[in-house]
C-alpha cells in the first residue's frame, strides 16, 4: 500500500541497501519538500543522526539542489562555502534530485568518509534509484 508509513519504510529499506552494499556510501537519506514551505525535511536515513532535519531552500548542498534541479557532486566538502556539516568525518557528498511528474520534490543525499569517491556511474545509478522510488510515491 502507499500509506505514508509504508512508503517511508520502503524508502528506509532503499537507504539500508545502498549503505550496506556500497562501502563508500556512509550516510544515505531522503529529503523531501516540506509541504508548500521553501524548505526540505528529512524523511528517513541510515547512518549517524543529523541535526539537519530541516534545510531551507538555497542552504547547503541539499538546499542548492532543491532550487537548481541538478545533480551536485562534491569531491571535497571542505572546499565548499555553502555547505552544512553533519559530521566531521564526512569528506564528500552527492545529492541527486528526485522528480515526480517532472517536478523536483526531493532528493537522495549521500555522505562519504572517502575523499572524491563519486563518479558518473554513481550519478546514473542514483538517478535510476530515484526514478524507481518516484513510482512508489
Where along the sequence are the contacts to ligand SME (CB under 6 A)? 27, 29, 50, 52, 55, 60-63, 83-84, 86, 93, 109, 111
Between CA 114 and CA 36 the distance in angstroms is: 35
- Decide whether 77 or 133 has the Cβ nearer to ligand SME: 77
- Decide whether 57 or 99 has the Cβ nearer to ligand SME: 57
Task: Name the percent of the chain in helix, strand, coil, to the closest 5.
Answer: 35, 30, 40
CB of 46 to ligand SME, least distance (A): 11
CB of 18 to ligand SME, least distance (A): 14
- On the 0-12 / 13-18 / 19+ scale of CB atoms within 10 A, 85 is middle
CB of 93 to ligand SME, least distance (A): 6
CB of 133 to ligand SME, least distance (A): 18
Between CA 88 and CA 133 the distance in angstroms is: 30
Between CA 88 and CA 54 the distance in angstroms is: 19
Which residue is nearest to ligand SME, using beta carbons?
A: 60
The rounded Cα 19 to chain-centroid distance in angstroms is 12
- Decide whether 29 or 133 has the Cβ nearer to ligand SME: 29
Amino acid at each position: 500500500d502507499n500509506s505514508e508509513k509504508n512508503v517511508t519504510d520502503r524508502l528506509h529499506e532503499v537507504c539500508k541497501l545502498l549503505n550496506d552494499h556500497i562501502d563508500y556510501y556512509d550516510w544515505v537519506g531522503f529529503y523531501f519538500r516540506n509541504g508548500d514551505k521553501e524548505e526540505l525535511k528529512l524523511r528517513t536515513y541510515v547512518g549517524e543522526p543529523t541535526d539537519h532535519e530541516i534545510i531551507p531552500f538555497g542552504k547547503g548542498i541539499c538546499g542548492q539542489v532543491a532550487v537548481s534541479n541538478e545533480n551536485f557532486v562534491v569531491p571535497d566538502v571542505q572546499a565548499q562555502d555553502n555547505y552544512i556539516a553533519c559530521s566531521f568525518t564526512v569528506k564528500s557528498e552527492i545529492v541527486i534530485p528526485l522528480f515526480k511528474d517532472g517536478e523536483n520534490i526531493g532528493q537522495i543525499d549521500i555522505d562519504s568518509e572517502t575523499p572524491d569517491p563519486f563518479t558518473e556511474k554513481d550519478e546514473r545509478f542514483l538517478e535510476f534509484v530515484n526514478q524507481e522510488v518516484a513510482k512508489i510515491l
